[in-house]
Structure 1
Amino acid sequence: MEELRSPGPRLRAARQERGWTLDELAGRAGMSVSTLSRLESGKRQASLELLLPLTRQLGIRVDDLLDSPERDPRVRRRPVTRDGMTIAPLTREASEVRAYKITYHPGAPERELQAHEGHEWLYVLSGRLQLDLGERQHLLGRGEAAEFDTTTPHRMRAAGTRAAEVVSIFNTVGERLHLRRTAAEEPETGPDAEQAAGRSD
């Protein structure tokens, strides 16, 4: 059985990005929770036999979990749709800056304002986006951009009856708190946590 370098941090990031608990991913991949937990923490040596069922469920390739100077530069990660949003990752799991194409679908339930450490940049590709910052509301149309400190309470949604397509860029702090789901997550010891469903926004 071929042994691979520890993919733990990237494996954890991929799981948390989808808002899945250890129990959920382990069940989908047909392995024990303890095995998955040890893989993520680096306490168990990774192998193709263990990683293949996990990457199938996560919609990524084994190469995405490993460091490889000759890897394909193209990003191939499946979009995730939930809570009124479709989130398409534009960067790899381990990138220091994370970029996403996010589609806010009209009619989604309004979310609570979120506030956390970090910084966010966004650009509206199509539709109209309502950005709430504190007590102020901002309407952004196609071709408009915004930049803000995420310690300011904020949320986003489509304005009107059309979807709003946005490219969002986060530093790692803003991304992990913004695109992760906390309510269903186990206590974090690693670098990621949000509210992915929560990405507000």
Structure 2
Amino acid sequence: MSSTVALLDYGSGNLRSAHRALEKVGAQVTLTADPHTVLNADGLLVPGVGAFEACMNGLKRVHGPRMIGERLAGDRPVFGICVGMQVLFERGVEHGSTAAGCGEWPGVVERLAAKTLPHMGWNTVEHPENSELFQGLSPGERFYFVHSYGVRKWDFPTDGPTTPPLVSWADHESDRFIAAIENGPLWATQFHPEKSGDAGLALLENWVRTL
């Protein structure tokens, strides 16, 4: 049977394109904010477009942080895209205002230091050789980005009992930022795999295959 994916509907994100891309790679997709459906699906995809604080407010309205936390506590896969990745960090700073995130990872989402913003278009990603997310993809593959904010510093402890996350990076005008993370059941990308053509579909297929 096809893996089931709950596409979290909280008022933000490229829902249509994400829904279509997941179906193309063989997932059975439900657009929903229903807790029972979200918690029982094989995978949960958290999209996100717009401002950090607005996305967090939308997530809170549907109890998104709680559902994400419950899934991860049960080792149930979650995938965040763009701002859906950013809200997984401790906090975001935009226009002088600080908003709390889900706190699954340490770190601050902040404005990129590049002169040309937003960072919009195709870019390469530097990923670890043992990455499951990028398995089968060449180092030169390009993915589609649309953002002005990102996480530029990674402070995850390396001396704990668990395996450290795999972190992938990208560069925009010499400003380096996190492009993707693989952390047990929690994966995320700053770029939009659903808008990244065949490479993005291959990446999503890699995730769906793990469900």
How does the TM-score come out when normalised to structure 1?
Answer: 0.32
Give the strand-richer structure, 1 or 2.
2
Rg larger in structure: 1
